[in-house]
Amino acid sequence: MNLMENEKSYMRQAIALAEAAVANGDHPFGALLVKDGEVVLTAVNTVHTDHDITRHAELNLVSQATRQFTPEFLADCTLVTSTEPCAMCAGAIYWAGISRVVFGCAAATLGQIAGGTFVIPCAEIFARGTRPVTVIGPVLEEEGTAVHQLFWPRIKE
């Protein structure tokens, strides 16, 4: 399996986590942390279940990861997320020292679907830092977008 096939497999896992978040009553976002071809952590959005607007999937993942792993370990990890990280999550990823992000649905696409008012591509945020963070995406954007197309119109009704 080549690298892109691995990324597609990881992305499908992140999208399944987003679907699980919706089943739990939360927003459709899922993320996983990969090191050396192995998924070492997963997280979902828990904004509603935790009654905390900051409980995005990526932030939940980074919080777990920084408590569990060393900075050296995290520097060699990839964070795979069903949707491009927001500014808050991009900052957390950067400060955790994670060096690579792969996302599904682009922030601009989510903004169009959900009516986003603070849409900044994560690569723009990472570009302001002093160390590089590789950004790959969108990967499987149609699949990553589908969960949003089902979820957000119901919220707006």
pLDDT tens across the length of the chain (157 residues): 444 778 899 999 999 999 999 999 999 999 999 999 999 999 999 999 999 999 999 999 999 999 999 999 999 999 999 999 999 999 999 999 999 999 999 999 999 988 888 899 999 999 999 999 999 999 999 999 999 888 887 775 5
Catalytic: which of 5, 19, 38, 58? 58
One-letter amino acid identity for 136? I
Question: DSSP per residue over the chain, as a string?
Answer: --HHHHHHHHHHHHHHHHHHHHHTTS-S-EEEEEETTEEEEEEE--TTTTT-TT--HHHHHHHHHHHHS-HHHHHT-EEEEEE---HHHHHHHHHHT--EEEEEE-HHHHHHHHT-SS---HHHHHTTSSS--EEE--SSHHHHHHHHHHHHHHHH-
- The answer to whether 68 touches 49, Cβ cutoff 8 Å, is no
C-alpha to C-alpha distance for 77 and 36, rounded to whole angstroms: 8
**What's this model's pTM, rounded to 2 decimal places?**
0.94
Assess whether 58 carries a catalytic annotation: yes
